[in-house]
Chain A
Amino acid sequence: MTQPTPIPTEPAPLLRIDGLKTHFFTDDGVVKAVDGVDLTVEQGKTLCVLGESGCGKSIMARSILRIVDRPGRIVDGSITYQAADGRSVDLAAMSPTSPAIRQIRGSDIAMIFQEPMTSLGPIQKIGKQIVETILLHRKMTKAEAKETAIEMLNRVGIPRPRERFEAYPFELSGGMRQRAMIAMALCCQPRLLIADEPTTALDVTTQAQILDLIADLKEEFNMAVMLITHDLGVVAEVAEDVAVMYLGKVVEKGDVYSIFEEPKHPYTRALLESVPRIGVKHAGRLPAIEGMVPHPLVRPTGCPFRTRCRDFMPGTCDVHQPVLQRHGRTDVACFLHNPVPAHG
């Protein structure tokens, strides 16, 4: 299941997702939550995955760690992870319960969630939970693990960490819990942190602190970050690379400046226009995207965005599926830019 590969000359991406499809086999039909995603996460860089609810961004992230719940499963594609020793492994081919993926979860790739109580147990003290994680993945004595845990709590900005080590999750505020969860995720110094809407439930001032914290720790540990969010402000603040998702597909990806300054996909453009911005007065109404995300069981033919697209071209967009192609500085999946296949 893991085969050694020669060390490449140029630095390989830390994580490379190719044609990933994660489908849910429900009684009502197959929900194609992730339907052909191509992405790369570079070593030590921050990739933001931008999308609205139902676009499959969380399922994509959970697919990486192989924690997709039934009835969902990966049906196609590969997730190539470049391990620290230079070997590359395909996470998509592993069994979700295998010791190999368990070793990667937590120690190589860690994940934090919007709701801290997803990863913190409610009836165990914070400190104990972190120590457990450390002992599972690192060779340390209990006393060393405790010191590491306290140091980590301190690093994430929890005041009086020695006291908080003995605290239960319910004794902490939302922002402090979020910090405790980050401390637990980072205690094994992962090479990739996947953060799924980590600040969505927080106040803006707390959000600013948590984003700062993730950015600091990323530099300190030379860690890559995949941050999943629907908030364009957060993307602009922390991203180096951006991937925009719609209905289970990446419709556009590129560096953060290109995405914000020269968006090519009509969906990216519409998203950027439809957010109110401080200091920018729209005379009257916001340019909203019409309609809504189609029902997951009734996917449109051709381009998934065509039902809401201002530039919909009948005979093309509803017949052919656009694929990601390089245009200038971004990859875009849209027939406004890409040639229409002759037959398809």
Chain B
Amino acid sequence: MAAVAARELRDGEVVFVGIGLPNLACNLARATHAPNLVLIYESGAVGAVPERLPLSIGDPALVTGSLMVCGMADVFQLFLQNGRIEVGFLGGAQVDRYGNINTTVIGPYERPAVRLPGAGGAAEIAVHAQRTLIVAKLNPRAFPARVDFVTSPGQRCGERSRRGLGMPGAGPVKVITDKAILEADPATGEMVLAALYPGVTADEVQQGVGWPLARRPRLAAVAPPTEADLRLLREVLDPQKHYLKG
């Protein structure tokens, strides 16, 4: 999943890096095909070149050797709200049919069954990044038709589109899962099946999704990670398996 996500990043792009698997994917991309990726962390590190995979997005290794370190008011106002972020990378406990993400609560807000961490910087990344990529493992609880709480906006909110609501960024264009890639349909904003991992069928993907999943007329095949990708991920980037567990 990390290797597939890494491929979505183009060399030289300005990426706002979220916590967890996105962190791993961005650092893999930088170590392989995108050495000039500009990694911006909400903690204030700009052009970070971490010598170790940061456990948190505020790790001291993000500072050492980076191009700039600024305060968080600058990160959100001068970079993100200014429109300087090309790609936002987000994860989430729940992702729905329109790419809305929930990282706040499972169940009702006032009496949650599970209290999740909350928005962090994800809400504003989803609003402002020129495009966002979502990374999440497929299962029906994680992919309901509608999330319990919209923390970070997707392609549609009720009947209203992003543009109608005044959001500058294009929103989630792809959802990278462990079995397939979903893409936002330009007309409806709905996440539709676009590509399958080797050996995975469209029916298997449907079983992990809580709405009737539309399919692109021709499904692409996701290439497996290369030996070099796997070696980098397992031996160099995450030897302690902070992110690669499970």
A binds B: no
